[in-house]
Amino acid sequence: MQYFPVFIDAEHLSVLIVGAGEVGARKLELILKTPAKVTIVSPWVSDTVKQLVAQHSLTLHERKFEDADIFTHNMVFVATDDPQVNQHIHDHATAHNILVNVVDNTPLCKFITPSIVDRSPIIIAMSSGGVAPVLLRYLRQKLESVIPAQVQRLGRFSEKFRSEVKSRLGSVTERRYFWESVLDGDIAETVMQGNEAKADMDFANALDDFTQQDNTQGEVYLVGAGPGDPDLLTFRALRLMQKADIVVYDRLVSPAIVELVRRDAEKIYVGKAKSKHTIPQDEINQLLVDKALEGNRVVRLKGGDPFIFGRGGEELETLVDKGISFQVVPAVTAASGAASYAGIPLTHRDHAQSVVFATGHLRDDTINLDWPALVQKNQTTVFYMGMTGLGIICRELIAHGMSPNMPIAIVASATLPHQRVVIGTLTTIEELVKTAEIKPPALIIVGTVVSLHDDLHWFKPQLD
């Protein structure tokens, strides 16, 4: 993030605009939305600027820029058509630690003005750092269409009651919970409809009710993060991630998904890799209990689906024993995500009428599975956590009657930009994986459906 986004209090801001053509006029119109004091310096003034000066009683000096002009200002916009003048003012302002923006010349900008969605007092500002203005304009149009104009009423309504809520609810967490209940409910709709009297009365009742509730115990949300691509998150998962006070996440949750968690939530990593537990499962279970008993909303974020080889059931049993309330949010499981992004249907009328999920996790250097059940005809078998035991899996499948030429796929980092797929047979796959230097996380798909990969693969990984 090259540009740090901030909102500056314009109450006592003094802005100098050098240049009074149409480019300068655009910046002037933007600044005039604030209470900032504005001075304009330019030997030539466009009709638009003249009108704005007359309407707002602005200070205008119809002359060339002088070095002394900057010293009574906090911020300078440079909008001349002379590159040498622009460079000079930039250098001069920078030398005196005054924020300067040379319009349409990003390298000469110590700050940049964002694209704005204005629903004052609600302001949404976006920036591409000057590299994609058309994309930024497109995103702004999208936001303008989905954010109701009446949301400004909610902003003013929140301001009116902010002090009262702060005085009656002692903790930041309590206040946030209360405001979320207001904004998610009927009160917000009443405000946006303009029925302020009813909204005021409903708000007072809601605040009274909330202060009488027992808010000392929190809740746990067991949330599936899917196979890795953030676009595969459910709406509910994203909403709860944004509500969380604490997020407990594992190794298979991609950084891009962790980035979507509420910014000021506490994030606790409890990753596990190849039977090497950073935190034992019992301690994770107790951690969820302890954090909920402190009154927090706790999201337990798991890669894939929490109820498929995710130990979600074990964690919920502990919560039930301790009387902690919880919710479960299912997700695209890793097998479905990996198969879809590799172009391998898990079922197909000509290949497989059933699919089996199995764990390839080693215990005492063995994999204890019902091997005869895994070698049935017209069946696809998917192994989770099986890379360490890949050789054992292939040998046991062959030993129990599966053809040595059965197609097998290894899908690593499924759904992510660096996804890799290796296709072979039960007799060749070990060497192919070794040559390709495939590392976990990866899933193993066994069955004739793998032969469809060549025709059906659609996802184009961004490999180096």
Q: Count Cβ atoms below 10 Å from residue 423 Cβ, excluding itself.
A: 20
The residue length of the chain stands at 464
> d(Cα 414, Cα 392) in Å, to the nearest integer?
23
Backbone angles phi, psi at 200, to 5 degrees: -60, -45
> Which of 229, 245, 250, 305 does the annotation list as catalytic?
250
- Does residue 323 come out as left (phi exceeding 0), alpha (psi in the -120 to 50 range) or beta? left
User: Six-digit token pair at 41?
Assistant: 């310096």
User: Six-digit token pair at 265?
Assistant: 């939530």
Question: Do 76 and 59 meet the contact criterion of CB atoms below 8 Å apart?
Answer: no
Question: Do 44 and 23 meet the contact criterion of CB atoms below 8 Å apart?
Answer: no
> In one letter, which amino acid is 412?
A
Annotation marks residue 276 as catalytic: no
> Which of 110, 243, 267, 272 does the annotation list as catalytic?
272
Q: Determine whether 212 is exposed, middle or buried from the number of CB atoms within 10 Å of its CB (0-12, 13-18, 19+).
A: exposed
Contact residues for 39 (Cβ-Cβ < 8 A; gap 6+): 14, 15, 16, 17, 58, 59, 60, 61, 69, 72, 73
Contact residues for 190 (Cβ-Cβ < 8 A; gap 6+): 198, 199, 202
> d(Cα 68, Cα 102) in Å, to the nearest integer?
18
> d(Cα 458, Cα 340) in Å, to the nearest integer?
9
Annotation marks residue 245 as catalytic: no
Nearest to 42 by CA among 16, 13, 68: 16
Question: What DSSP letter does each residue of 292-308 carry, written as one string?
Answer: HHTT-EEEEEESB-TTS
Q: Cα angle vertex 405, ends 400, 409, to 5°? A: 95
Long-range contacts of residues 373-376, Cβ cutoff 8 Å, at least 24 apart: 374/400, 375/400, 375/401, 375/402
User: Six-digit token pair at 185?
Assistant: 């409910």
Which residues are identified as catalytic?
250, 272
